[in-house]
Amino acid sequence: MKVCVFSSSSNAIDPVYINEAIHLSQLIGHEKMTLINGGANVGLMETVLKEVVNAGGDTIGILPEKLNGHKLASKFAKKLIISKDMMDRKSIMREMADAFVALPGGFGTLEEILEVITLKQLDYHNKAVVFVNTNGFYDDLFNQFERSFEENFAKHSYRELYHIAANSEEAISYLKSYSPPVPVNKWYNVPQK
CATH for 2-176?
Answer: 3.40.50.450
Q: Which pLDDT score, from 0 to 100, does residue 44 have?
A: 97
DSSP state of 158: G
CA separation for the pair 21, 11 (Å, rounded): 13
Q: Which of 122, 86, 70, 121 is nearest to 6 (CA)?
A: 86
Per-residue pLDDT tens over the stretch 125-180: 999 999 999 999 999 999 999 999 999 999 999 999 999 999 999 999 999 999 99
Binning pLDDT at 50, 70 and 90, where does residue 68 land? Answer: confident
Closest CA to 77 of 89, 93, 60, 91: 60
How far apart are the C-alpha atoms of 110 and 21, rounded to whole Å? 16
pLDDT tens sequence across 88-97: 999 999 999 9
What distance in Å separates the CA atoms of residue 138 and residue 131, rounded to the nearest whole number?
8
**Where exactly are the structural domains of the chain?**
2-176
188: pLDDT strictly greater than 80: no
